């Protein structure tokens, strides 16, 4: 079992729809959770962080965390073609190391 | 604030040749990370520095890879000799606290070994 798992996609949604990206992790004592966006040929860019159970909203982005289910998700409302990218889930362990999933490719169709 | 600076952006070398990558972290960030990202995969940690001390190098292939962070600022990652399987993007990242608030990545170095 991989430490951080994501559906590799590609996930295709129409413009204006909600994109839902999911991630599960194996280490129960993980403390911090992040979503990175990576455009093709570019480096990962931090877009959301979440540390406690529940929802965290930032503009069109909502991160959701359920530690009991070891599950993290990212919702993108009103998806735009510019949101087309690979989204990486990262989980921080107690030593401060971030472990990344393989990423989910999102394609938003006009 | 200047971001994490890496050089070179691209490097093409023949197998068995040496190669080095350089990273300058964000000013004041005491933690520095080197990650490797293979095509279609997420980044994987190679080594983590707290100031000048390597505190996690368990994933660094020490037979051919080496790294240093003199004076706790800039860092260099070296591969000698390079193998075809080393072709990847090498990412440097830094953080103020030990990753608790996420990292800032540099632009990366894309290595192609032919």
Q: Phi then psi for A81, rounded to 5 degrees?
A: -55, -30
At A29 the pLDDT is: 87
pLDDT at position A8, please?
A: 78
Using a CB-CB cut-off of 8 Å, the residues of chain B touching A101 are: 42
Average pLDDT over residues A1-27: 93
**Number of A–B residue contacts, CB under 8 Å:** 59
* DSSP-derived secondary structure for A22-68: EEEES-TT--EEEEEEE-TTS--EEEEEE-SSEEEEETTEEEEEETT
What are the chain A neighbours of B104 within 8 Å (beta carbons)? 46
Among A29-33, A55-59, A100-104, B17-21, the range scoring the smallest mean pLDDT is A29-33
| Residue B44 forms contact with A (CB below 8 Å) | yes
Separation between Cα atoms, residue B45 and residue A47, nearest integer Å: 20
Do B102 and A88 count as a contact with CB atoms less than 8 A apart? no
Question: B98 to chain A: nearest residue by CA?
Answer: A96
pLDDT at B98: 65
CB contacts of B98 in chain A (<8 Å) are 95-96
pLDDT tens for residues A34-86? 999 999 999 999 999 999 999 999 999 999 999 999 999 999 999 999 999 99
Over range A3-9, report the average pLDDT.
89
Tell which of A98, A99, A101, A104 to mutate to test the B interface (max B CBs under 10 Å): A98
* Coarse DSSP helix, strand, coil percentages of chain B, rounded to the nearest 5 percent: 5, 50, 45
Question: What span, in angstroms and rounded, lies between the C-alpha atoms of A85 and A61?
Answer: 14
| pLDDT at site B8 | 97
Instruction: Please give the Cα distance from B15 to B5 (Å, whole number).
Output: 26
**Alpha-carbon distance B107 to B93, whole Å?**
9
3-state secondary structure of A81: helix
B107: nearest CB among A43, A100, A101: A43
The helix, strand and coil proportions of chain A, stated in percent and rounded to the nearest 5, come to 5, 55, 40
First to last CA, chain A: 36
Say whether A98 and B102 touch across the interface (CB within 8 A).
yes
pLDDT score for B99: 57
Residues of chain A in contact with residue B42, where contact means CB-CB under 8 angstroms, are: 4, 88, 90, 100-103
Helix (H, G, I), strand (E, B) or coil at B86: helix
Q: Name the band, by pLDDT with cuts 50, 70 and 90, for residue A93.
A: confident
Q: Report chain B residues whose CB lies below 8 A from the CB of A42.
A: 107
B31 CB within 8 Å of a chain A CB:
yes
Distance CA B88, CA B100 (A): 26
Kindly state the DSSP code that residue B69 receives in the 8-state scheme. Answer: -
| Binary contact (B91, A46; C-beta < 8 A) | no
Q: Mean pLDDT for each consecutive 10-residue tract of chain B (114 residues)? A: 91 98 93 94 94 90 94 94 97 81 90 98
In whole angstroms, give the CA distance from residue B21 to residue B43. 16
Q: How many CB atoms lie within 10 A of CB B28?
A: 8
Farthest CA pair distance, chain A? 42
């Amino acid at each position: 079992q991989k430490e951080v798992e994501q559906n590799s996609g590609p996930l295709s949604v129409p413009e204006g729809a909600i994109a839902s990206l999911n991630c599960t992790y194996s280490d129960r004592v993980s403390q911090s959770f992040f979503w990175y966006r990576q455009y093709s040929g570019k480096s990962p860019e931090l877009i959301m962080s979440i540390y406690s159970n529940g929802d965290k909203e930032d503009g069109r982005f909502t991160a959701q965390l359920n530690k009991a289910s070891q599950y993290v998700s990212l919702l993108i409302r009103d998806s735009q073609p510019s949101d087309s990218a690979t989204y990486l889930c990262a989980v921080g362990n107690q030593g401060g190391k971030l472990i990344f999933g393989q990423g989910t490719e999102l394609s938003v169709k006009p | 604030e200047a971001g994490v600076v890496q050089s070179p952006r691209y490097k093409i070398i023949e197998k068995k040749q040496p190669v080095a990558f350089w990273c300058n972290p964000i000013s004041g960030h005491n933690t520095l990370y080197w990650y490797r990202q293979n095509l279609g995969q997420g980044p994987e940690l190679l080594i983590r520095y707290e100031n000048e001390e390597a505190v996690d190098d368990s994933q660094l292939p020490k037979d051919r890879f080496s790294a240093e962070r003199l004076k706790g600022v800039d860092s260099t990652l070296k591969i000698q000799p390079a193998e075809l399987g080393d072709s990847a993007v090498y990412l440097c990242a830094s953080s103020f606290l030990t990753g608790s608030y996420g990292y800032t990545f540099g632009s990366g170095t894309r290595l192609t070994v032919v």
